[in-house]
């Protein structure tokens, strides 16, 4: 009897620990990782190199060390620009500017050390497009600048999803009863798309439509994963749309915008001009809208 009670107590303890740890477990993170290898002038791998990955916007540092094969990786990095610093006794300090890290991206930054004093610093800027060699996921990102610059009817950022290869307009005949976002990812059903907002589930449980669509000025980036994505995204088969909102930096910044949604400055219609009829501002069917945005 005592043995059974002890077993039950152990099971209850394990279950309690799992429940306590649950808030600290993450899936579908809107982050990326930076990885690579460190070599010496002869091309040999260098273990024990101190690696510091620094977020340019916030100054937050992520530290790691190369293993016996000279490899390193920094996981769960928020999107943004980074620098990778490599330091080891007998070599000059190397600082590599990586550029922008995107959602779900595996950015490979290899560092070639040079002999010299640690006090000497060599700064390198990573050039060219980063080719994804670490993951078979098919997808692409839309960053904040196009989101603000591109014309959006109704301020719906998901209209830009159609710019990505493999994303097409929905079949209005078969999907006419669906009231959600009208695009299909990689041939999937439009009601089988998983929407994520800052890593959290953003799907309505009734019709699987998106719940909250943020203001475009609040979005840092969104990424569409079309196929071969990791098991952590395994809810729906119709593609993944992951949206990340803007976070703070060490500098003051903001956005001011104004809308003009009438036809006061719109041209007269073709048919009115042909019939020499003046523009009727109140009843014109050709109402156009304008938008001005200023970032600072």
Residue 289 has pLDDT above 70, yes or no: no
Judge whether 31-125 and 138-245 match in fold: no
End-to-end CA distance of the chain: 71
How many other CB atoms are found less than 10 A from the CB of residue 86?
Answer: 24
User: What values do phi and psi take at 76, rounded to 5?
Assistant: 55, 50
Query: 31-125 domain in CATH 3.30.460.80?
Result: no
The lowest-confidence range among 33-47, 65-79, 129-143, 279-293 is: 279-293
The CATH code of domain 138-245 reads 2.170.130.10
Check residue 26 and give its pLDDT.
44
Check residue 121 and give its pLDDT.
85
How many other CB atoms are found less than 10 A from the CB of residue 283?
Answer: 8
What ranges do the domains of the chain cover? 31-125, 138-245, 255-295
Average pLDDT, whole number, for the chain? Answer: 77
pTM above 0.75, yes or no: no
* Mean pLDDT score, 207-212: 85
Question: Quick one: what percent of the chain has pLDDT higher than 70?
Answer: 74
d(Cα 49, Cα 160) in Å, to the nearest integer?
A: 42
Residue count of the chain: 296
Residue 247 has pLDDT above 80, yes or no: yes
Q: Are the beta carbons of 94 and 111 closer than 8 angstroms?
A: yes
Grade residue 72 by pLDDT with cuts at 50, 70 and 90.
Answer: very high
d(Cα 244, Cα 200) in Å, to the nearest integer?
A: 10
Torsion angle in degrees (nearest 10) through CA of 117, 86, 246, 24: -130
Q: Which residues of 200-209 are buried (b: 16+ CB within 10 A; e: fewer)?
A: eebbeeeebb
Nearest to 113, CA basis, from 140, 142, 132, 93 = 93
Check residue 186 and give its pLDDT.
80
d(Cα 173, Cα 190) in Å, to the nearest integer?
A: 13
Residue 36: left (phi > 0), alpha (psi -120 to 50), or beta?
left
Grade residue 6 by pLDDT with cuts at 50, 70 and 90.
Answer: low
Check residue 93 and give its pLDDT.
93
Check residue 286 and give its pLDDT.
42
pLDDT tens-digit readout, 73-119:
999 899 889 999 999 999 999 999 988 888 888 889 999 999 988 78
All residues at 6 or more sequence positions from 225 whose CB lies less than 8 Å from its CB, including other chains: 104, 137, 138, 139, 233, 239, 240, 242
The lowest-confidence range among 27-31, 131-135, 218-222 is: 131-135
């Amino acid at each position: 009897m005592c043995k059974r009670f002890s077993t039950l107590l152990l099971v209850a303890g394990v279950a309690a620990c799992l429940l306590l740890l649950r808030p600290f477990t993450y899936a579908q993170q809107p982050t990326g990782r930076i990885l690579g290898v460190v070599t010496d002038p002869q091309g040999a791998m260098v273990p024990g190199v101190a690696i510091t990955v620094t977020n340019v916007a916030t100054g937050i540092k992520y530290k790691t060390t190369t293993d016996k094969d000279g490899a390193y990786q920094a996981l769960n990095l928020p999107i943004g620009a980074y620098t990778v610093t490599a330091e080891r006794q007998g070599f000059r300090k190397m600082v590599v500017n990586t550029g922008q890290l995107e959602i779900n991206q595996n950015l490979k930054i290899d560092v070639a050390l040079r002999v010299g004093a640690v006090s000497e610093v060599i700064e390198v800027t990573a050039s060219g497009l980063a080719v994804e060699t670490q993951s078979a996921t098919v997808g692409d990102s839309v960053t904040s600048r196009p989101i603000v610059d591109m014309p959006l009817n109704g301020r719906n950022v998901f209209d830009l999803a159609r710019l990505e290869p493999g994303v097409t307009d929905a079949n209005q005949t078969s999907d006419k009863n669906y009231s959600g976002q009208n695009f299909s990812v990689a041939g999937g059903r439009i009601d089988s798309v998983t929407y994520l907002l800052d890593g959290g589930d953003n799907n309505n449980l009734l019709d699987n439509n998106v719940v909250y669509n943020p203001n475009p000025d609040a979005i840092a980036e969104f990424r569409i994963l079309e196929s071969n994505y990791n098991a952590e995204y395994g809810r729906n088969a119709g593609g993944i749309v992951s949206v990340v909102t803007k976070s703070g930096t060490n500098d003051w910044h903001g956005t001011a915008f104004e809308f003009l949604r009438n036809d006061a400055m719109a041209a007269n219609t073709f048919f009115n001009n042909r019939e020499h009829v003046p523009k009727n501002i109140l009843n014109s069917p050709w109402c156009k809208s304008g938008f001005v945005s200023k970032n600072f």
